[in-house]
Amino acid sequence: MQKKALKNLILLLLSVCLVFSYKTSAQLPRLILNEVYVDFAVGVDNPLVKTKFNVYDPVGPTMEQFDKNVKIMHELNIETYRIELGWGRRYSGFGLNRMIDGTAEHLTYNFEPLDHMIRELKKQNILMHGAYCYCPFPLQDTSIDKYRDSRAPNNIDKWKEIITTVAKHYVDLDMPFGVDEVWNEADGLYIFYSGTEKEFQQVYKSTAEAVLSANPDATIAGPASAPELVWHRSFPEFVACEKLPMDMFTFHHYGSAELALNSIDKVAASLDRFPHFKNTSMVMDEWHSADLIEPWCRDDDVRSTYEGASQLLHDFSILLTRPELTSVSWAWYMDPTRAKATCMGLITGDGHRKAVFNAWKIYGNMPVDRKQVKSIGPLEALASADDHNTGVVIWNPDPYRRRIDVHLHNIPFSKGNVRIYRIDSLHASWGDGAEENLVPVESFNNIDLTNWSWLDHIIPEHGIIYIEADDNSGLSELTPVDVADVIKVNHYYPERGTTSYADFDRKTWIARLGMGGDTDADQEVGVLADRLPDVMTANITVEGDLQKLDRNSLLGIRVDYQINGSYKKSVLFHGPFEGVDLYNKDRDVAFPWGTQKQADFAVAVENLADFQLMLKENAPAGWKGKAHISFIMQNTGPGTRTKIMLKKHEG
């Protein structure tokens, strides 16, 4: 009887506890929590590269608006800012439409507005992606009114003169465009281009020739194809047949990342028809995740709320899986000031950061090297780390509040600081009284980080949680370094649609290459640079087991020395990494740039993990510091990836 009474008492107490729990907190049983596990000791593909996601504005921002909002552009950690120069348009808030004026016989130029824009971008370490469009006033057909600014120039020789003058002006100022693009949506609506396809082909040809006459190292892009992709097959056929330069095939897409994959596949299939485009990047230089973009501006549009922020991260995670898509430019950076409601921008017309801006800022602040995440439940997440910092961003794609536990394993430092940020209806989401800025909602200083966990919390519907940790050193691999003057970054795509990848960050001088799930893949990325030091330090790390699969298997760095515009000598640096040197003297694979031949010399270093890149010592006579440096990872086996860091040699 005593045992039965004790059992009944225990059951009664448990019942009281359960009732009290439900009445006081209304929480669901812990059994059904969503769990997120991060293992910072396990690397995964694809890295969270910062060169991938960039921004675009149409012709509309005013100079006052630009000056206010450019000051925070660096917070996104982007590479390029695209704008249509908008020559000859009826209006342009920045004044670029009147950049070319006068008559065809007596052209006049007003460089002041664009000079100002490019100087301000340079202060933010951001490159100008300039689209040469539309038809300047002196070259318009004045006998018509409608669409005359979108017609092909009536004098192609004068158009070529204008492009040459503009390109040379910025070379002389030591501020050449990062990307020189020909027109905007030439195959789209008449409002953007109302000429024929053959007329545009001549516009492209003359523009490329003019730019390269002023800047032989320019990055030529086009045709900024409209979302309908009307000329995505015929235009490459023309370029390949004429053997014209095209460093980037640019195209537009408005819609989710899932829908964008269809456009990416179409462009890739078109380019892959011609060997001419093996060095041509795919760039989606207008993109917005909203599938319905009309009406453009609405006060209740989720593009301006925290709901749009979680969608942005979802789409980023999908587009990262397509490494052949080198760059994506969000439309727009700023809402136009003339809009009566919020629009597609990351920032409101009067300069307020939206939730989408803050979500992007989280991505921009996260370390690049991606780490393993396991999410039990519907929550989505990305995680990354370097030696001094970690980050994990979690977002809720659903309209339901979720309970969440987060478990962080193998943080690369044992003690440090943790900060937790939120983006939801109350945090970092402009409007309705919410805090606009991204600020920590919780902080833990100088704590033990051994298998640290953050337990029993709520992530609201479509909300975002970001957890970052640092070792209090202030060091980060995202910090820009001064190595040399980057002129151009080159990519190589002998085969698109693979899981392998290669990226170079001009700000940090770090290259990241990976085989993904591919056994055989030739991944190469290169940088043309000037004022290179005599000696550089190369630090290389590798994840996975390197395999010597054939005579073209390789992990190395190649230098092609340039003198007076010509490549005179090439040297390949290779050596053992943890005892494995993949180099074979019978290597015979094609090389996409520089001398475009097998290396003239091969230099075996003692330890590929850490060595001195002896540039001056191996240079031809008369070399003055300009060279193309290539990072090569080929046929090293699935699951292998490398990080190559170059710095000026100290001492």
Of the candidates 651, 555, 650, the residue with the CA atom closest to the CA atom of residue 609: 555
CB 85 within 8 A of CB 183: no
**Given a cut of 90, is residue 152 above it in pLDDT?**
yes
Angle at 442 between CA 440 and CA 443, to 5 degrees: 90
* Strand pairing report for 402-409 and 452-459: antiparallel
CATH of region 33-46+368-470 = 2.60.40.1180
pTM summary value? 0.93
CA distance 236 to 230: 12
Q: What is the pLDDT of residue 59?
A: 76
CB 572 within 8 A of CB 550: no
Residue 620's contacts (CB-CB under 8 Å, 6 or more residues apart) are: 561, 563, 568, 569
Of the candidates 96, 195, 48, 115, the residue with the CA atom closest to the CA atom of residue 505: 48
Q: Would you list the domain boundaries of the chain?
A: 33-46+368-470, 53-365, 485-648
Q: Provide mean pLDDT across the span 485-497.
A: 96
CATH architecture, range 485-648: Sandwich (2.60)
Q: pLDDT of 600-641, one tens digit each?
A: 999 999 999 999 999 999 999 999 999 999 999 999 999 999
Q: pLDDT of 323-349, one tens digit each?
A: 999 999 999 999 987 777 778 899 988
Cβ of 341: how many Cβ atoms within 10 Å?
Answer: 15
**Given a cut of 70, is residue 1 above it in pLDDT?**
no
CB 581 within 8 A of CB 604: yes
Q: pLDDT of 420-433, one tens digit each?
A: 999 999 999 987 77
The token duo for 329 is 């430019």
CATH of region 53-365 = 3.20.20.80
- φ and ψ of 382, to 5 deg: -130, 145
Please tell me the least confidently modeled range out of 268-272, 311-315, 433-437, 598-602: 433-437
CB 25 within 8 A of CB 340: no
Q: Do the domains spanning 53-365 and 485-648 agree at the CATH topology level?
A: no
CB 386 within 8 A of CB 427: no
The token duo for 416 is 């440090």
Helix ranges (H only) for 57-129 are: 63-69, 112-123
Q: Which secondary structure element, helix H or strand E, spans residue 361, and what is its range?
A: helix 355-365
**Given a cut of 70, is residue 5 above it in pLDDT?**
no
